[in-house]
């Protein structure tokens, strides 16, 4: 199908008021994403204005993690309704919704934090320009092939100090990710998007959103009335420090949340770092305890665990130094244990030898050193006996001569 200068390809997505296609430019042959307003909504003033506003507001934002809008085409007087469309950059890495739809998908903390960091930066940029996205959800987070995340679909963006393009009393947003004040029709600010981003964060880390009712209405009501569950209660690998951060970002009152999305993500990173430090110290303490109990194999395992957890920490010298000191002490214990094991092995071999041959010669006195044979008295050789007798006779003759000399002097005294 041809639409203006574009040849439409496969359908990438379909929403309540528009369809997105993969399209190729007729002359440039580059691929783009083409979003077309549903023909039956062209005469709907609100839908038409919302579609045009999306293109204008998104195009006004220049940010590396916001999908770039290329063009907006509107047929004059809407004579050809199918010719109302906008074009934007095509990201061929899929969406977060597709990624999370895979069975048993839970993102690791590093991957989730990288995505959150990109989207939080994009949202804060929009908020700095007085724009509120109002529809942050996985299907509006897209990826390029390098894995970088982009914020898309500004169809529900609300500009500050401008009338809303919705019916009075209507609720705008996705029930699973909607903020309480958004569901209640109250005034909104950047912290409304922060709430939705926190729901996305919860889903990435746990594998399911915090609130899921039997219907869209019940789910929306849960956002307004129910306290969010602890993420760690649904995924044991999530540190308890993370629960406090998510609970604050999911607070019912926007004033209780973080000042901006970047502050929320920074707190989440700090929570993981604090958890890693706590677990690192626990591993070191467990290593110390195992050493004291002589369980050197367990101590080695705990030390290896601590080394792995150290990689997740900022490399403060105090942490590295503490690990090095315990590693040195553990090595000394292991060396001593090896010496002791060798000694015991030698003793065992000697015991076996003596059991088979009690009179086995022991010129090095090894058996005596091991406490297995008392040192036996050794008789001197003939040469040694001759030297000892000769020396004794000589010393005896000298002693006898001295005795006779002093006796003679004593007798002859006047």
DSSP string, 168-214: TT---S-TTT--HHHHTT----HHHHHHHHHHHHHHHHHSS-S---S
The 10 Å Cβ neighbour count of residue 58 is: 24
Catalytically active residues are 135
Give the neighbor-by-neighbor strand order of the sheet with 2-3.
2-3, 6-14, 18-25, 31-37, 85-89, 69-73
204 closest CA partner among 312, 272, 111, 274:
111
| Cα radius of gyration (the chain) | 42
Q: Could you give the 3-state DSSP secondary structure of residue 119?
A: helix
- The token pair at 349 is 């071999």
Q: What angle do CA 122, 181, 215 make, to 5 degrees?
A: 100
**Residue recorded with tokens 């529809």:** 135
Percent of residues in the chain assigned helix, strand, coil, to nearest 5: 55, 10, 35
Contact 70, 87 (CB under 8 A): yes
Residues 6+ apart with CB under 8 A from 124: 190, 260, 261, 262
Residue 106 corresponds to which tokens in the numbers above?
A: 């839970």
Question: Are 341 and 294 contacting, i.e. CB atoms less than 8 angstroms apart?
Answer: no
For residues 360 and 354, is the Cβ–Cβ distance under 8 A? yes
């Amino acid at each position: 199908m041809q639409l203006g200068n574009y040849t439409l390809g496969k359908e990438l997505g379909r929403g309540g008021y528009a369809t997105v296609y993969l399209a190729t430019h007729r002359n440039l042959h580059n691929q783009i994403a083409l979003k077309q307003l549903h023909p039956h909504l062209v005469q709907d003033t609100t839908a038409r204005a919302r579609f045009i506003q999306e293109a204008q507001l998104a195009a006004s934002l220049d940010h590396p993690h916001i999908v770039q809008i290329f063009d907006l085409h509107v047929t004059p007087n809407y004579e050809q309704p199918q010719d109302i469309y906008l074009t934007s950059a095509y990201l061929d890495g899929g969406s977060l919704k597709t990624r999370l739809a895979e069975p048993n998908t839970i993102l690791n903390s590093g991957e989730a934090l990288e995505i959150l960091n990109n989207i939080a930066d994009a949202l804060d940029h929009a908020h700095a320009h007085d724009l509120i996205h109002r529809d942050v959800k996985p299907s509006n987070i897209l990826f390029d092939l390098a894995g970088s995340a982009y914020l898309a679909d500004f169809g529900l963006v609300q500009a500050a100090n401008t009338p809303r393009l919705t019916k009075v009393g209507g609720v705008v947003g996705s029930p699973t990710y909607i903020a309480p004040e958004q569901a209640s029709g109250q005034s909104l600010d950047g912290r409304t998007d922060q709430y939705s981003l926190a729901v996305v964060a919860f889903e990435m880390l746990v594998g399911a959103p915090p609130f899921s009712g039997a219907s869209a209405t019940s789910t929306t009501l849960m956002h307004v009335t129910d306290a969010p569950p602890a993420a760690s209660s649904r995924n044991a690998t999530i540190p308890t420090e993370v629960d406090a951060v998510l609970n604050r970002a999911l607070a019912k009152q926007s004033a209780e949340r973080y000042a901006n999305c970047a502050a929320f993500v920074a707190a989440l990173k700090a929570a993981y770092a604090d958890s890693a430090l706590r677990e690192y110290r626990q591993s070191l303490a467990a290593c110390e305890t195992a050493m004291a109990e002589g369980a050197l194999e367990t101590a080695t395992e705990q030390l290896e665990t601590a080394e792995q957890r150290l990689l997740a920490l900022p490399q403060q010298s105090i942490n590295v130094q503490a690990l090095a000191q315990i590693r040195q002490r553990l090595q000394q214990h292991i060396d001593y244990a090896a010496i002791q094991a060798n000694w015991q092995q030698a003793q065992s071999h000697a015991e076996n030898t003596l059991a088979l041959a009690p009179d086995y010669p022991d010129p090095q006195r090894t058996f005596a050193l091991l406490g297995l044979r008392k040192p036996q008295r050794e008789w001197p050789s003939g040469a040694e006996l001759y030297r000892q007798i000769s020396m004794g006779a000589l010393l005896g003759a000298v002693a006898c001569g001295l005795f006779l000399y002093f006796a003679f002097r004593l007798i002859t005294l006047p």
